């Protein structure tokens, strides 16, 4: 019977930390992030109520129906109750997932913006590299045989291709604030993952596949990119950053990079 208060106390403590938000998301930096947080809160409220009621009820039956000499009631169940709680949970669960579908569709199924700034991401054990096309707006050809990390050519850009001459390669991601971005992701060895907490976005980077990810970041600042798919012994230190900068600063940065080549 001591179990009843133990269950109740655990329930209250868990609920407290979810309400106090002691360890929580960083603030969102995009429209998607705001929509994401709203869907999270909807789900949290619904599941929170179910969690509290279910645990409280469990504690209650443990307390109320302990063996105190009464005779147990005899019942094999109640079909009406079964029907009610089956349909109620079905509607609730499926309803929640349908509400979240809009957010998923906005990330993965919306018409790509042709004006999106193209950036290529190449992941390898255990680093990210980002490539920007130069003023010609074209990425140059690459060849695995030309890859030379020490010489600053992790993508193997072919110098004989004029389109590649002006390409910029950076170890960190710089994006202009408020502009749609198209991040084209590749891996050259194993599966990695691109994750920016503040964007509320995550995508596996799979060798042999070219996966585009569209997003827009609105709030300038520097945000960490932790690799989020196990990629080997250096997984825990596979880190980069995303710097969101005003558009003018971004253009200036690109010019500086081009000049330094």
Partner 1 sequence: MSSPVVHAHHAPQGFIRKYVFSLDHKVIGIQYYFLALFSVLVGMSLSLLMRFHMVHPDAKVHWFSTLWPTAAQGGIMTPELYLSLMTMHGTIMVFFVLTTAPQSGFGNYFLPIQIGAEDMAFPVLNMLSFWTTLLALGVMISAFFVPGGAPLSGWTGYPPLSAIGAVAGPGEGLGQTLWIVSIAIFCGASLMGAINFIATIIDLRCQGMSLMRLPLTCWTWFVTAILGLLGFAVLLAAGVLLILDRSAGTSFFVPGGLLVSDQILNHKGGSPLLWQHLFWFFGHPEVYIAILPGMGVTSQLLSTFCRKPIFGYRAMVYAILAIGFLGFMVWGHHMFMSGMSPYSAMAFSVLTMAIGVPSAIKTFNWIGTLWGGKIRFTTAMMFALGFVSLFVTGGISGIFLGQPALDLYFHDTYFVVGHFHMIMGVAAIFGMFAGTFYWFPKMFGRMLNETLGKIHFYVTFVGVYAIFTPMHFLGIAGNPRRYSDFTNFDFLGKLLPVHNFMTQAAYGTAAIQILFFINLFWSMKYGKKAPMNPWNATTLEWTVPSPPPFDNFAGQHPVVNHGPYEYGVPGAPNDFIMQTDPVDVVREPHA
Provide, rounded to whole angstroms, the least separation between the CB of residue 224 and partner 1.
5
Provide, rounded to whole angstroms, the least separation between the CB of residue 149 and partner 1.
8
The DSSP bridge partners found for residue 184 are 120, 212
Q: Which is nearer to partner 1, 237 or 255 (CB)?
A: 237
Nearest 10 degrees: Cα torsion 223, 225, 226, 227? 170
Q: Which is nearer to partner 1, 72 or 248 (CB)?
A: 72
Phi, psi of 210 (to 5 degrees): -115, 110
Q: Which is nearer to partner 1, 175 or 199 (CB)?
A: 199
Residue 7: enclosing H or E segment and its boundaries? helix 3-20
Q: How far apart are CA 261 and CA 259, in angstroms?
A: 6
SS (H, E, C) 70-99: CCCCCCCCCHHHHHHHHHHHHHHHHHHHHH
Neighbours of 90 (CB within 10 A): 10
Provide, rounded to whole angstroms, the least separation between the CB of residue 235 and partner 1.
6
Q: Give yes or no for a contact between 102 and 110, defined as CB atoms under 8 angstroms apart.
A: no
Beta strand pairing status for 173-176 and 239-245? Answer: parallel
The tokens of 22 are what? Answer: 């002691």
Provide, rounded to whole angstroms, the least separation between the CB of residue 77 and partner 1.
4
Q: Which is nearer to partner 1, 25 or 162 (CB)?
A: 25
Q: CA dist 246 to 26, 156, 179, 228, Å?
A: 21, 30, 10, 28
Q: Which is nearer to partner 1, 119 or 199 (CB)?
A: 199
Provide, rounded to whole angstroms, the least separation between the CB of residue 245 and partner 1.
19
Provide, rounded to whole angstroms, the least separation between the CB of residue 217 and partner 1.
15
Q: Which is nearer to partner 1, 168 or 199 (CB)?
A: 199
């Amino acid at each position: 019977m001591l179990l009843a208060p133990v269950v109740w106390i655990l329930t209250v403590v868990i609920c407290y930390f979810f309400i106090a938000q002691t360890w929580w998301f960083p603030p969102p930096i995009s429209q998607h992030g705001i929509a994401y947080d709203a869907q999270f809160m909807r789900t949290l409220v619904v599941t929170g109520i179910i969690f509290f009621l279910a645990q409280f009820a469990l504690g209650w039956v443990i307390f109320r129906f302990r063996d105190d000499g009464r005779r147990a009631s005899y019942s094999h169940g109640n079909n009406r109750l079964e029907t009610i709680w089956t349909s109620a949970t079905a509607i609730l669960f499926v309803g929640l997932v349908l509400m979240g579908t809009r957010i998923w569709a906005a990330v993965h199924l919306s018409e790509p913006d042709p004006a999106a700034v193209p950036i290529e991401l190449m992941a390898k054990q255990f680093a990210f590299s980002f490539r920007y096309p130069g003023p010609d707006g074209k990425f140059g050809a690459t060849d695995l045989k030309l890859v030379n990390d020490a010489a600053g050519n992790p993508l193997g850009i072919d110098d004989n291709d004029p389109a590649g001459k002006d390409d910029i390669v950076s170890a960190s991601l710089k994006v202009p604030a408020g502009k749609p971005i198209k991040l084209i992701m590749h891996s050259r060895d194993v599966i990695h993952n691109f994750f920016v907490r503040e964007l509320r976005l995550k995508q596996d980077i799979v060798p042999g596949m070219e996966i585009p990810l569209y997003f827009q970041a609105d709030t300038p600042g520097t945000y960490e990119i932790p690799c989020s798919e196990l990629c080997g012994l250096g997984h825990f230190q596979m880190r980069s950053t995303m710097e969101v900068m005003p558009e003018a600063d971004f253009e200036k940065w690109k010019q500086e990079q081009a000049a330094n080549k």
